[in-house]
Amino acid sequence: MPTRPLKIAYVRVEDRDYPRNARIRAYLQDRGHHIRVSDRARGGRISRSLRDVREIFRVTRGADVVVVPEFSLPFVPLVWLAARSARAQLVVDGFVGKYETVIEDWHRASPRSLRALWCRMVDARAARLASVYLTDTRVRARAATARHRLTPPALSLPVGAPEWISATMPEPADHLRVLFYGSALPLHGIPTIIQGLALTTIASTSLTLVGGERIHEYREMARRLGVEDRCTFVGTLGTEELNRVIAAHDVVLGTFGDSPKALSVIANKVWQGLAAGRTVITGKNPAMAEIDSLVGPQLIQVDGAEELASALDGLTAAPGTWYPHTAGILSDYVANEFEGLARRIESARTPVVLHALDDLSGGGAQRVAVDIMKHSDQQGIRSVVVAETGTSVRMLPNSTTFVEVPSGGFLRYVRTLDRACRQYRPTVLHAHQRREALACLIVSAVRGIPVVEHAHTVLPDQKLKPLSFRTRRTFSVGPAVTAMLERDFHRDSRGIVEIGNVVPTRAVRTKPPVRARVTDPLSVIAVGRLSEQKNPRAFVDLVAALNRTAPVTATWLGDGELRAETEHYAESLGVDITFAGFVDDVIARMDSADALLLTSTWEGNPLVALEAFSRGLPVAGYAVPGVAESLSEGRGILLDEGVSIEEQAAQIRSALFAPERRDMTRTALSHARRFVSPAEVYAPVIEAYRTLTF
């Protein structure tokens, strides 16, 4: 069953009781989906058309799936526009094709006429615009797929028998009672039926023909062939009365036409007659191979009036034969075939999220994005990422598609993003930086794809304020970021969801960390990009000040544009610092260090601090936005920027050697454990992916 119900709009329904669309709607409702039905408008042509158009756009608003039923193929292009506007799947039921009905069955125009050309165009356009194209037999599905080059292929959805059909034992009779019912379409082949009756050798065999006015048109033919007295002509019947009529007969007749459609369908009356337990005789038809093995001798196929007469004569010896178990067999078969429809519309709406980043370096935003993609994969949500390449590429889940952006500026990024949207058809765009959010909004304006945005950090400037944080939903990683969004960018609080960051799985301890007493020489580390935000010169200054009191070993884990400058600065101060670049053993290095120095000038909710908290590693940092909130309430060492660098170094040494250090690390560990469950932290993100998609 689906994870959540879909909103399905049925547009321009000719007859809600018609077995085909009634059965499909009932099936979808039984699966828990919500169905809205718009009936075909009545009245004059112009007013009717205007009402149809209005109803189509009304009923499809907010729909996940839009269905065009069997008699409305000419309206498919209009419905396609409405479905595209709603970003809904379009399901088209080609059960009653225009060309096969008007030209091949009714011969209303020459196959070479303009009308025939129009009919072919209606059918082709309907099939090619559909996300899912339905027909009623496997033979017809294969033919439609080949004719219209459909990808994915057309889906066969058997007609089946309605619930009102009941399998009851026929009342005893001394002769064979044969029934045909229908609207006397050419594909029914009624002339073959009456001719077959006339050719029978058993004169007691009777025929009842049920239908509208067209049925009575064949009375003269029965008179000419001398079987009028053996025929009973009945007008249209309701389902309850028709069920009683079927129960009073031994044999139900199918279709005997010779048109391409007649030779590829399993008619309603065939399904219904079989489900009622009656013997069914119908014209030879490749489509019958679907059910022939299920019903055995209950289904008899004939070629022409003579074979029909012979089959009827063969049944006269045992009138009243019935098959009480066929209804269940056919019901199971149809239910299994209908599962194909459920798989198509339910799996097709699995969210596909495109993550837009500047690059895939080892930064915090990139690590969060990768973490979300991994969790999304576990939730059955596909991910696509558009970014310049970087070291995080190897961390992407196997199911994630990476679209590399060549360097070249903003317009090239927008073009690459747009091409990715055309190719992978994402249902949500998730931007992780402001520039990328603007690119997503531009593409969204053309493609109609909803955009969400991640605010990973407090920003040092407010450039482009009118263009910033204007997406449907903004995910904030912490209180400092939320305050910035509301105060500086005037973002409505209703559009902000504060979720925090998840402690990476690699950092989570199953038991509280136990660290030995701190001794000299101290081992300090920094983790992050060597960039302006991380302020690596301050790290060098702190290490130099610590080193003036006692020996210190210092390591910076990460790389970036300021590496060469920072290495030169450390060398100029005579400070020995190892710049290790990006490494895979960050956690192991944390476990062997005495402190993490967080010298950033701004942050959001620093992941590296959460990792350190989880490992019992003390963290020291400046009281800047994002860091202050992270280290507050006794979780870390907040350095006083108003004092000298030597006093800051002394503050670090004092906290690390104090007995209260254990209390600080326990408090930090307790805080970090609030963010160890991706399912809890990312629940609002997954909910947005699904609700904005559906």
C-alpha to C-alpha distance for 79 and 165, rounded to whole angstroms: 33
Rg value, the chain, Cα:
37
In a shared domain, residues 554 and 663: yes
Cut 0.85: pTM above it: no
111-136, pLDDT tens digit by residue? 999 999 999 999 999 999 999 999 99
Residue listed under structure tokens 């059955």: 380
Q: Which residues constitute the domain of residue 441?
A: 350-498
Per-residue 3-state assignment (H helix, E strand, C coil) for 588-609: HHHHCCCEEEECCCCCECCHHH
* Domain CATH for 41: 3.40.50.2000
Burial 392-414 (b: 16+ CB within 10 A, else e): bbebbeeebeebebeeeeeeebb
The answer on 661 and 512 residing in a single domain is yes
* Nearby residues of 78 by Cβ (< 8 Å), 6 or more positions away: 53, 56
Are 95 and 205 part of one and the same domain? no
Packing angle, helices 536-549 and 563-572, rounded to 10? 30
- Looking at residue 693, its pLDDT comes to 55
Torsion of CA 390, 391, 392, 394, to 10 degrees: 110
User: pLDDT tens-digit profile of 206-243?
Assistant: 999 998 777 888 999 999 999 999 999 999 898 899 99
pLDDT at residue 44, as a whole number: 84
Q: Count of domains in the chain?
A: 4
Cα separation of 75 and 583, whole Å? 60
Does residue 482 share a domain with residue 429? Answer: yes
Task: Taking residues 527-534, report their average pLDDT.
Answer: 93
Q: What is the mean pLDDT of the chain?
A: 90
Say how far apart CA 175 and CA 172 lie, in whole Å.
9
Residue 433: its pLDDT value, please? 94
Same domain, 132 and 104: yes
pLDDT above 80 (res 3): no
Of 230, 251, 258, 213, nearest in space to 105 by CA:
258
- Does residue 694 lie within any of the structural domains? no
Dihedral sign from CA coordinates of 127, 132, 138, 142 = positive
pLDDT per residue over 385-401, tens digit each?
Answer: 999 999 889 999 999 99
| 3-state DSSP of 389-456 | CCHHHHHCCCCCEEEECCCCCHHHHHHHHHHHHHHHCCCEEEECCHHHHHHHHHHHHHHCCCEEEEEC
Write the pLDDT tens digit of every residue in 588-643: 999 999 999 999 999 999 989 999 999 999 999 999 999 999 999 999 999 998 89
Asked whether the predicted pLDDT for residue 4 surpasses 80, the reply is no
Distance CA 105, CA 119 (A): 13
The DSSP code sequence of 198-261 is HH-S-TT-EEEEE-SHHHHTTHHHHHHTT-GGGEEEE----HHHHHHHHHT-SEEE-----STT
Instruction: Report the percent of the chain where pLDDT is more than 70.
Output: 97
For residue 97, being part of any structural domain is answered with yes
Closest residue by Cα to residue 282 from 245, 23, 215, 298: 298
Give the separation between CA 198 and CA 305, rounded to whole angstroms: 9
Residue 249's closest CA among 215, 216, 208, 211?
A: 208
Considering the domain architecture, whether residues 520 and 403 belong to the same structural domain is answered as no
The secondary structure of 490-529 as a DSSP string is: ---GGGEEE---PPPGGG--SS----PPP-SSEEEEEES-
Predicted pLDDT of residue 427? 83
Domain for residue 603, yes or no?
A: yes
- Using alpha carbons only, give the angle 149, 151, 154 rounded to the nearest 5 degrees: 80
163 falls within a domain = no
Distance of CA 115 to the CA centre of its chain: 39
User: What's the confidence (pLDDT) of residue 505?
Assistant: 64
9 - beta bridge partners? 36, 66
Residues 305 and 385 in one domain: no
d(CA 219, CA 227): 9
pLDDT at 683: 93
- pLDDT for 694: 45
> Of 96, 127, 156, which marks where a domain is finished?
156
The helix or strand, by DSSP H or E, that contains position 117, with its residue range, turns out to be: helix 114-129
The reply to whether 552 falls in a domain is: yes
Residue 585 lies in a domain: yes
Buried b (16+ CB within 10 A) or exposed e, 238-250: eeeebbeebbebb
Q: Which residue has the tokens 């060469």?
A: 564
Alpha-carbon distance values, 316 to 205, 209, 251, 279 (Å): 8, 19, 10, 12
Domain boundary among 466, 498, 530: 498
Give the span between the Cα atoms of 433 and 443, in whole angstroms: 15
Given 97, 127, 156, the domain boundary residue is: 156
85: tokens are: 């506007």
Say whether both 544 and 422 belong to one domain.
no
For the cut 90, the answer to whether the pLDDT of residue 554 exceeds it is yes
pLDDT (average), residues 77-101: 90
pLDDT of residue 348: 58
pLDDT at residue 242 in the model = 94
Residues 690 and 427: their CA atoms lie apart, in Å, by 9
Residue 142's CB is within 10 A of a number of other CB atoms, namely 15
Please check whether residues 459 and 542 belong to one and the same domain.
Answer: no
Q: Which of 394, 415, 399 is nearest to 351 (CA)?
A: 399
The answer to whether residue 337 sits within a structural domain is no
Is the separation of the CB atoms in 246 and 239 below 8 Å? no
CA 6 to CA 345: how far, in whole Å? 9
Task: Read off the pLDDT of each residue in 446-468 and give the average, rounded to a whole number.
Answer: 85
**Domain assignment present for 342:** no
User: Using one digit for the tens of pLDDT, what is the confidence trace for 154-209?
Assistant: 999 998 988 889 988 888 888 999 999 998 888 899 999 999 999 999 999 999 99
**How high is the pLDDT of residue 513?**
59
Residue 364: the pLDDT is: 84
One domain, residues 489 and 366: yes
Task: Please give the helix or strand (H or E) that residue 615 lies within, else none.
Answer: helix 607-615
